Amino acid sequence: VTISVAKSGGNVTTNLQYGAMEEEINHCGDGGLYAELIRNRAFQGSEMYPSSLDAWSGVGHSSLSLKNLSDPLSTALPTSVNVKGKGTVGLVNAGFWGIDVRPQKYTGSFYVKGSYHGTFTASLLSSTGKVLASTKVPSKGNAHEWVQHEFVLFPKKKAANTNNTFSLTFDASKASDGSLDFNLISLFPPTWNDRPNGMRKDLMQALADLGPKFLRFPGGSNLEGQTIEGRWKWNETIGPLKDRPGRATAWLYEETSGIGLIEYMEWCDDLNMEPILAVWSGLSLSGEVVPEEELDFYVQDALNEIEFLTGSVHTEYGALRAKLGHPKPWKIRYVEVGNEDNLSDGLDSYKAYRFQAFYDAISAKYPDIQVLASTIDMTIPGKAGGDYHLYDVPDNMVKQFNMFDNFRPDQPILLGEIAATEPNNGVGINWDDKNFSLYPWWIGTVSEAVFLLGAERNADKIIGTTYAPFLMNLDSYQWSPTLLSFNSNPEETARSTSWHLYSLFNHNHMTNTLPATSSDDFGPLYYVTGVDKKTDSHIFKAAVYNSTAEVPVSLTFEGVGRGTKADLTILTAADPFDMNEVGGENMVNSKTTKIKAGKKGEFSFKLPNLSIAVLTTN
Ligand code: AHR
């Protein structure tokens, strides 16, 4: 295939191209990115998932019972645990299916109510009961109020595995009626950037190494909730943890809201990501829709949320943000209205009044914000953009390579959820049987590369692309495959085959695409060509899908002459079904070679079937 790339005439990219998407699913927040080690730390529950003692057990003969006391820790956290017994009693937490114990500082706290004249013992224990770290915490408890106690633990050695627990004990004979009430029992390892209430380091490292340019949050279906009342309420995710009630996720478990609106923004700050904020749009997953005459309240709530993030300290909600320690406003350039409003019978009302109401109100107050509809299955008004999601078999990902060629640049589209989910052994996806691959696998990844190349060729119209869902805890998940998979052992985190694709494309960023002419049509070689004007590096990104032989390529860039050097990186895998598993090895081979342009400025190389490649001139 001979490809000649022109000097000018392409488009200017949005500069975002590859990002991340996060919603609470697969225990990717609680039990994942959110570094909290104690599962069910505050016995949060809802009508859908009632409070329980999940993850807790009693020490020895201690009896544990959930109580809704008349004077709870807070209205947000009404349920606490009463621990009763004789002698040394207490409770043990199994963590998020294990606790990683190594020589580092663990910061813990718990609230107690009850008169107690003794000390508490906080410990990390192995599965055989060996003490890995332990500390005494003198009681400040009394019968009249909830008192917070703080402690640190320093294990001397790394534990043999993560099959460890946390225990908190006390001497019941020194408690007034042999029992005490506990709530919000928390333990954190060191976090990314040492933020209190922060993020798990290995997962943040995997994200930092990926270099996402934006973060779409907080959903996903989880934004929507099962009912109108169960929607993601931004104002219940801010402030002290004791004032965050948590909520029923869309994904079969209760979330703590430990990662709340502010934590999302801090996360964007930490990884230099552009926030793409999704606001609730008046549709819940059950199909309940807010009628037009009642929508104002929710539109105003979205405006309040944006003011909370971006308003000066002289605004009502900007002042609230300042009170919570963030006087400096954040910048929001993208707001998406809802999630998949084309589903759950939501499209008619979205088209008829819901989207327009949010679009008009947000654009009027914040003209610099690019408002996005959560679908492209409608005529999008004015300068609004849209969001397109695709979960499909590899062949169908490839078929959509040309999809964006005729889109409008003034109505930019986010590719907010993209993944090859199951092999080509049937036609299309059977949504009733979500028997998707556990991990991204190599052919799927190559087909995603083809789709991404189609998007990047239209990088003025496509805001950016993100894989979804992004993460899963292998010990408890609802939806695979994901870009990153993990368990409680940070050393076993798997960066998927698709992670390697996104990382390669992301780290070779084009500021402008450049048009190319070719001897052949697209397929089996798919590509995009462009330049990074900041470094003057010319770039070729490609993927080979379904070729019977190696594809020879002769590539010239107008103005790039004989002898110019370039790096050519080719990703391959030994088997089309190779996948990167938790605790397993990386199956993606990455080989970078230095090549030189020949007499006519041509770069000559061969790309094997099922390969992904990037060439950048030096
Ligand atoms: O990514 C998993 C789910 O897929 C998202 O929550 C939803 O938006 C989509 O249907």
pLDDT at 426 over 90: no
Q: Measuring from atom 8 of ligand 1, which residue has the nearest CA?
A: 220
Q: Is the separation of the CB atoms in 19 and 276 below 8 Å?
A: yes
Yes or no: say if 491 and 478 are a contact pair by the CB < 8 Å rule: no
Average pLDDT value for the chain: 97
Q: Is the pLDDT of residue 514 over 80?
A: yes
In contact, 298 and 284? CB cutoff 8 Å: no
Q: Is the CB of 339 under 6 A from ligand 1?
A: yes
Run of H or E including 361: helix 355-365
Tens digits of per-residue pLDDT, 298-319? 999 999 999 999 999 999 999 9
Whose tokens are 């696998």? That residue is 441
- Other C-beta atoms closer than 10 Å to the C-beta of 389 total 20
Q: 97 in the Ramachandran plot: left (φ > 0), alpha (ψ -120 to 50) or beta?
A: left
CA angle 19, 264, 28 (to 5 degrees): 75
* Residue 538 CB contacts under 8 Å (≥ 6 apart), including other chains: 5, 514, 529, 530, 531, 557, 560, 566, 616, 617
What's the gap in Å between 6 CA and the centre of ligand 1?
39
Please say whether the beta carbons of 156 and 102 come within 8 A.
no
Residue 534 in tokens: 């900041």
Provide CB contacts within 8 A for 459, sequence distance 6+. 11, 12, 13, 14, 17, 510, 513, 530
How far, in Å, is the centroid of ligand 1 from the Cα of 220?
5
In ligand 1, the atom with minimum distance to the C-alpha of 21 is 1
The tokens for 590 are 């990455």
Alpha-carbon radius of gyration of the chain: 26
CA of 3 to the centre of ligand 1 (A): 38
* Candidate of 253, 276, 340, 390 to mutate for ligand 1, largest count of ligand atoms within 8 Å of Cβ: 340
Atom nearest to 417 CA in ligand 1: 1
- Atom in ligand 1 nearest the alpha carbon of residue 419: 1
Write down all domains in the chain, each with its CATH number in brackets: 2-12+511-617 (2.60.40.1180), 17-35+192-506 (3.20.20.80), 56-188 (2.60.120.260)
**Closest among 267, 176, 237 to 470, alpha carbons compared:** 267
Q: Is the CB of 417 under 6 A from ligand 1?
A: yes
Cβ–ligand 1 distance for 416 under 6 Å, the answer: no
pLDDT (tens digit per residue) in 430-443: 887 777 999 999 99
CA distance 464 to 458: 10
Question: Rounded to the nearest whole angstrom, what is the distance from the C-alpha of residue 282 to the centroid of ligand 1?
Answer: 17
Q: What is the pLDDT of residue 433?
A: 76
| pLDDT of 428 | 77
Indicate the length of the chain as a whole number: 618
| Residue 469 Cβ contacting ligand 1 at under 6 Å | yes
| DSSP line for 436-463 | --SS-BHHHHHHHHHHHHHHHTTTTTEE
Residue 288 is encoded by which pair of tokens? 């309940």
Query: Which ligand 1 atom is at minimum distance from the Cα of 339?
Result: 8
Please tell me the distance between residue 469's alpha carbon and the centre of ligand 1 in angstroms: 7
**Dihedral sign, Cα of residue 460, residue 445, residue 210, residue 186:** positive
Which residues, in sequence order, are bridge partners of residue 215? 20, 275
**Ligand 1 centroid to residue 153 C-alpha, Å:** 39
Q: Is 220 close to ligand 1, i.e. is its CB under 6 Å away?
A: yes
Query: Tell me, what's the pLDDT at 408?
Result: 87
Look at residue 153 in the predicted model and tell me its pLDDT: 98
The residues that bridge with 371 in the sheet, in sequence order, are 335
pLDDT(471) > 80: yes
CB 573 within 8 A of CB 587: yes
Tens digits of residue pLDDT in 214-266: 999 999 999 999 999 999 999 999 999 999 999 999 999 999 999 999 999 99
Task: Please say if the pLDDT value at position 545 is more than 90.
Answer: yes
Ligand 1 pocket check for 334: Cβ under 6 Å: no
Residues 177-190, mean pLDDT to the nearest whole number: 97
**Phi, psi for residue 615 in degrees, rounded to 5:** -115, 130
Ligand 1 atom 4, closest CA: 220
DSSP string, 523-547: SSEEEEEEEETTTTEEEEEEEE-S-
- Kindly state the average pLDDT of the residues 324-337: 98
Cβ 221 under 6 angstroms from ligand 1:
yes
CB 604 within 8 A of CB 552: yes
Rounded to an integer, what distance in angstroms lies between the CA atom of residue 129 and that of residue 137? 20
Q: What is the mean pLDDT of the segment spanning 575-603?
A: 98
Contact 7, 455 (CB under 8 A): no
Ligand 1 atom with the smallest distance to the CA of 468 is 1
CB of 340 shorter than 6 A to ligand 1: yes
| pLDDT over 90 (residue 157) | yes
Reading the block at residue 85, the tokens are 């017994």
Alpha carbon of 596 to those of 473, 560, 562, 617: distances in Å? 45, 11, 8, 9
The number of the ligand 1 atom at minimal distance from the alpha carbon of 340 is 8
Secondary structure of residue 222 in the 3-state scheme: helix
Ligand 1 within 6 A of CB of 468: yes
- ipTM comes to 0.99
Residue 425 pLDDT: 85
Whether ligand 1 lies within 6 angstroms of the CB of 439 is answered as no
Closest-CA residue to 528 (of 470, 460, 440): 460
Considering only CA atoms, which residue is closest to atom 1 of ligand 1? 469
Q: What share of the chain in percent tops pLDDT 70? A: 100
Find the 175 Cα to ligand 1 centroid distance in Å.
Answer: 49
CB of 479 sitting under 6 A from ligand 1: yes
- For 164, other C-beta atoms within 10 Å of its C-beta total 23
Q: Is the CB of 481 under 6 A from ligand 1?
A: no
Q: Is 338 in the pocket of ligand 1 (CB under 6 A)?
A: no
Distance 221 CA to ligand 1 centre (A): 5
Residue of 281, 387, 391, 484 with the most ligand 1 atoms within 8 Å of its CB, for mutation? 391
Place of tokens 């006519």: 600
Closest CA to 277 of 302, 250, 245: 302
Peptide linkage before 481 cis (omega within 30 of 0) = yes
Q: Which residue has the tokens 């997962």?
A: 203
Assess whether the C-beta atom of 274 lies below 6 angstroms from ligand 1. Answer: no
Q: Which atom of ligand 1 is nearest to the CA of 391?
A: 4
Helix (H, G, I), strand (E, B) or coil at 266: helix
Q: What is the pLDDT of residue 135?
A: 98
C-beta separation of 511 from 15 below 8 A: yes
Which tens digit of pLDDT belongs to each residue from 375-400? 999 999 999 999 999 999 999 999 99
DSSP state of 235: G
Q: What pLDDT does 427 receive? A: 72
Q: Is 31 in the pocket of ligand 1 (CB under 6 A)?
A: no
